[in-house]
Structure 1
Amino acid sequence: MGTYKYLIIYFCIFSIFFSILEAIVNPFILSVGSVFVVVMNLSKTIITNRSICQVLVNMICGCFGVVISLIAVHFIFRYFAIQREGKLKYFRGKYMVIWFFIPIMCGIFWTSTTYYFLKPNDRVTLILKDHLKLVYDVDTENIVYTGSDYFIDDLKYQFNFEIIPGMIIMATIIIISLSIVALFWIKIYKAIKKLDQQGQSDFTRKLQKQLFYALVIQSCIPLFFMYLPVSLFLFLPVFNIQIDKMGHIVTLLYAIYPSIDPLPVILIIDCYRLSLFNLFRKNNRVGELNDIPSGRDNTF
């Protein structure tokens, strides 16, 4: 698998980190009117320091920036691999470090954005107070959150201009990532169509198609599990659209994403799928052998 295995390992390591962080934070996403927040319940975590918990909430949000940028990097790599024009050299050595650094930087930008531009404030806390108590039986004194309100006065529809820089940064990361994915998806599709004309071996064509299909499905997963739900959660409240019930769905999708994401690669690419099936066959065979009588008479 060459350099590609390092991308897979990188993604797996991040998924493990994300899963651990999600288990610690146990966030739930909430939208009330024009307010959108990601909440951490302090009564359900072993960490008692509010400052640390606040940073952890921001970090769980920053993971979204890492994921969408990493998907974009995957598409660029696959296009270079299919081209066979020597551009894979830009995914080796010092260049590989740069590619690995890009998702981390996007995550840092996203985390910093939520920390500085979407910090808790008295107005949002007051709006959340009754809702949290009624729906979740949680007091605002026992939570930390990141998020904001699009308006500073609902009656006069006075827009909250303080959050504009943060929303621009997050929207920019989403748009750039989606644009790269769409552009290189088209390029990869066209390149695969030309494989037959370039005299590639059957094995190469088959492997490239499997990688492409896996990548497409692996991109649809964050699209429907992260891109769309999180984007709707972020931007629908600006129209004062109540999506409180959707918050439970967004929270669920965001939480189970890491466990689902590796499945396309494991199930579509032959070498991984066969290895997995052989592992189960081996375990079943061992179990069957253990069930076979030894033939020795143990009666006394």
Structure 2
Amino acid sequence: MLAYALYSMFYSFVEILTQPITHTKGSGFILYVDSFLKYEFEIGVILAVLFCGSFAFCISLLAVHFLYRYIVICKPNNAQDLEGNKIFKLFIPPVVLSTIWFLASFICLTPSEYKTEYMRDQVMQLYNDDTRLLAYIEVLYFFEDENGKKTINIGDWIAGLGICVQIMSLCLFTIIYCGFKTYQKMNNSELTSSMSKNTRNLNRQLFRTLIIQTLFPVCTMFIPVGLLIVLPVFSIELGSFSNAPSMYAGMYPAIDAIIVILMINDFRNVLFCRKRKVVRGQLSTIGSNNDS
């Protein structure tokens, strides 16, 4: 999570420069820059694409976090392959996946004349911005040509459903699979039978923490972004909900730390300045040592 926390600072920096606004209409959705760079077309488009690539790195790094837990707890013999500098091998998948997402957005989703006109009226009405002047990227699965014939935009299908959704599905599968297997291992009766009461209690706390840590990103990051990409295929509009994913992604590192602090007794006691309970046996041991 240290790597995730450090990366979140970079993500926040990109988000500040971008200040993305997202809107869905019919068979498409637009993400445009709303910062002081909104009218700097070339720089703004790069920032919008970089923001999307940063989100891909964010979710893939989260998946790697669960993968690392799985290896350490369920495959301890393989954990030695991640010791020292070897741990940087875990960062290869996030770099590769975010680069693919970045390139797909840059190649397929950059502005065009028909995309500009498609979103222009609603963006002007709701946000008082003119898409002809904005730096943006846009997914538009269908559009009508000059003859009024509905045309499939192949590039946007490849980028949206063929690449972005598949990357998210891979990360989501990794999180659910590794989280479930880790939970099973930590809840193994043979493993816990040899543990002390305090260790078993700590494991129960870790079980609950792991469940919440799995559900939170699924509900706040994967599902909202997945809906944002998939629903325009069916011409289902999301309204103001379209802007939720970027907010949730920025909140996750802090929320994840808060989950751990509140779910683990020792951390919670320190937070609320509660004194740790001392077991009677420990007092007896201390007393006998003082007498001697």
Q: Is the 8 A contact 2:60 2:93 kept in 1?
A: yes
Could you say which residue in structure 2 is the equivalent of 1:285?
none
Q: Matches of 2:228 and 2:38 in 1, distance apart?
A: 27
Q: Deviations over 1:138-190 (max 9, x none)?
A: 12244211122101328543221122331311122111112122222221122
Look up the equivalent residue of 2:17 and give its one-letter code. Answer: I
Q: Shift of residue 195 of structure 1?
A: 5.1
Secondary structure of the structure 2 residue equivalent to 1:261: helix
Could you say which residue in structure 2 is the equivalent of 1:159?
152
Q: Matches of 1:89 and 1:234 in 2, distance apart?
A: 39
Look up the equivalent residue of 2:44 and give its one-letter code. Answer: C
Q: Matches of 1:11 and 1:195 in 2, distance apart?
A: 32
Is the counterpart of residue 172 in structure 1 residue 166 in structure 2? Answer: yes
Q: Matches of 1:271 and 1:70 in 2, distance apart?
A: 27
Q: Matches of 1:180 and 1:53 in 2, distance apart?
A: 33
TM-score (normalised: structure 2):
0.82
Look up the equivalent residue of 1:166 and give its one-letter code. Answer: A
Q: Shift of residue 9 of structure 1?
A: 0.9
Could you say which residue in structure 2 is the equivalent of 1:295?
none
Q: Shift of residue 258 of structure 1?
A: 4.4
Matches within 5 A, 1:70-219: 70-83=61-74, 85-153=76-144, 156-167=149-160, 168-194=162-188, 196-197=190-191, 199-219=194-214
Q: Is the 8 A contact 1:218 1:262 kept in 2?
A: no
Secondary structure of the structure 1 residue equivalent to 2:135: strand
Q: Which moved more, 1:90-99 or 1:132-141?
A: 90-99
Q: Deviations over 1:117-152 (max 9, x none)?
A: 111111111012111111111122442111221013
Matches within 5 A, 1:25-44: 25-41=18-34, 44=35
Alpha-carbon RMSD: 2.6
Secondary structure of the structure 2 residue equivalent to 1:29: strand
Could you say which residue in structure 1 is the equivalent of 2:223?
228
Could you say which residue in structure 2 is the equivalent of 1:260?
255
Secondary structure of the structure 2 residue equivalent to 1:38: strand
Could you say which residue in structure 1 is the equivalent of 2:288?
none
TM-score (normalised: structure 1):
0.80
In the comparison of the two structures, how many residue pairs are matched?
271
Q: Matches of 1:205 and 1:90 in 2, distance apart?
A: 28
Secondary structure of the structure 2 residue equivalent to 1:188: helix
Look up the equivalent residue of 1:97 and give its one-letter code. Answer: F
Q: Matches of 2:136 and 2:219 in 1, distance apart?
A: 24
Q: 1:99 to 1:138 in 2, by over 3 A?
A: same
Q: Is the 8 A contact 1:195 1:205 kept in 2?
A: no
Q: Shift of residue 218 of structure 1?
A: 2.2
Q: Matches of 2:54 and 2:205 in 1, distance apart?
A: 27
What are structure 2's unaligned runs of at least 5 residues? 276-292
Secondary structure of the structure 2 residue equivalent to 1:37: strand
Percent identity for Structure 1 against Structure 2: 28
Q: Is the 8 A contact 1:28 1:251 kept in 2?
A: no
Q: Is the 8 A contact 1:31 1:247 kept in 2?
A: yes
Look up the equivalent residue of 2:135 and give its one-letter code. Answer: V
Look up the equivalent residue of 2:69 and give its one-letter code. Answer: R
Q: Matches of 2:58 and 2:246 in 1, distance apart?
A: 16
Could you say which residue in structure 2 is the equivalent of 1:244?
239
Q: Deviations over 1:242-294 (max 9, x none)?
A: 2234324445434544443332123223454445445x99xxxxxxxxxxxxx
Q: Matches of 1:265 and 1:246 in 2, distance apart?
A: 28
